[in-house]
Structure 1
């Protein structure tokens, strides 16, 4: 993410941002833990879990768990950890040895394991959200689920109310009629629905940018859709805004937060306090929207 001193670079809002831990000074080796009193039984050990980065060069035991991490040597003064979608990456000064690196990992082991578990749980949520592209598939749209109905009589794709389903609690209330034969291949259904979602996204984003830009006292020169796998949006000092079309899966308050976030960068090209003050003028409850964006699981479209 660019520094405030370089306003010409785009500001970006992370989609699946890794969880970085500020670089920690290399700690001394930890002292052994004191023995428990004889009359206090040891708790049962937690089930061992394996977390191995696909580019792992080192593996170790961390609180009883098997952890493989990618090691990057860099010009820095301290050891830093980042837990991303692939696992744990450790960055360390070139002069720091493996013993010191793994002592630092042991010292921060609770944090590392918590973040590794969170990333795995997120991956599992994503897998559960995978769409089975067939008639009757559920597709998230503006915070609700719409049901795919193949209808060769329809020209293109059309959204309409779901008839009797609207009266049933917890049941998707709207039908997405797709103009394809009932034996259409999954890829055909996916491509037709995805193209429709992208058209809806552009139309909605244009409306929301037109709504928020005058309130934020900014002028947006150009809006483009993005398919980035790691960013919800970005803004450039020339007035260009890019928004990830897959925001259309979320409810309108979440979309509004991202739109306002990127437009606010046209005034404040950083993430300092003054930037958040600008965003809050139009999104007072921005913490709720940020939380929904962070916790939401996008469906897998392939």
Structure 2
């Protein structure tokens, strides 16, 4: 998710949005590395031959390099850019480099950035593994996340309607007719979660507004598929109801983030200093939220 800044002729429509996997929550982490400088008349060092691994063929369109005890495959894209760019996506490591930079220099840069590369590759693998985990089962005894913990779903076969949460046993009991369809259960649970989200957000927003010394005009729930929250210049806050699945610190981080835009309508160093002033653990919360792929949440 990029942190997007949207502008229009009407300054009241200026909004900053906190997206899933932006530069703060990115599904495609990337960094730049300064390219070696060569004058037009200088000679370039010879290109290193591609590393090979006899145990496993190099995938088509990729190069291979040995970094310490690790074998790393990567995609190389030549461009007119001035620096060497590293990006991690679903296909692994992709490097974009100027046409005049040699393979030796590129692989030296890989060695210099190996800690970042392997950290991001591991994060990507862990996220992919979580996506492959089975989705929750909509049945009696099924579990779903609520405020950072799993709660157990109980189905009471009755003609009466209603839903009740027992905080002691961490059980959410839904009353449904015997012939109720699965979607009826999903609708009942989603409605309860949205009411809880509205209640929790209404409690937390004034706390951080007071800490920041700002006033917001209104807040509403969002069902956006790509954004955790947004803030307009005239103080309208929108928060994704799915945040109710997460622990309170992650909810507080998003709230502090959005309200901080009422002091800094940008993502400058001053903005992040503002967030940190009321939420010192923002970096850890930002990473934790980024690591929760939407695919791991219940599907309604």
TM-score by length of 2: 0.71
Structure 1: state its 5+ residue gaps.
34-44, 167-172
The counterpart of 2:120, out of the listed 74, 90, 115, is 115
The superposition leaves residues 7-30 of structure 1 with CA deviations (integer Å, 9 ceiling, x where unpaired) of 864333343322533322345778
1:142 matched to 2:158? The reply is no
The residue matched to 2:176 in structure 1 has which SS?
coil
Q: After superposition, where does 1:111-190 map in structure 2 within 5 Å?
A: 111-128=116-133, 130-153=135-158, 154-161=160-167, 173-181=169-177, 184-190=180-186
- Tell me how far apart the structure 1 counterparts of residues 61 and 143 of structure 2 sit (CA, whole Å): 42
The residue matched to 2:278 in structure 1 has which SS?
coil
1:300 matched to 2:283? The reply is no
Q: After superposition, where does 1:46-57 map in structure 2 within 5 Å?
A: none
Change (3 A) 1:83 1:187: farther
Change (3 A) 1:130 1:208: same
- Tell me how far apart the structure 1 counterparts of residues 48 and 190 of structure 2 sit (CA, whole Å): 56
Structure 2: state its 5+ residue gaps.
37-43
Q: 1:112, CA displacement in angstroms?
A: 3.2
Q: 1:179, CA displacement in angstroms?
A: 2.4
- Tell me how far apart the structure 2 counterparts of residues 156 and 102 of structure 1 sit (CA, whole Å): 67
- Tell me how far apart the structure 1 counterparts of residues 123 and 14 of structure 2 sit (CA, whole Å): 31
Change (3 A) 1:158 1:184: same
- Tell me how far apart the structure 2 counterparts of residues 241 and 149 of structure 1 sit (CA, whole Å): 34
What RMSD, in angstroms, separates the aligned Cα atoms of the two structures? 3.9
Change (3 A) 1:260 1:72: farther
The residue matched to 1:128 in structure 2 has which SS?
coil
Q: 1:139, CA displacement in angstroms?
A: 0.8
The superposition leaves residues 3-56 of structure 1 with CA deviations (integer Å, 9 ceiling, x where unpaired) of 7999864333343322533322345778869xxxxxxxxxxx9x9799x9xxxx
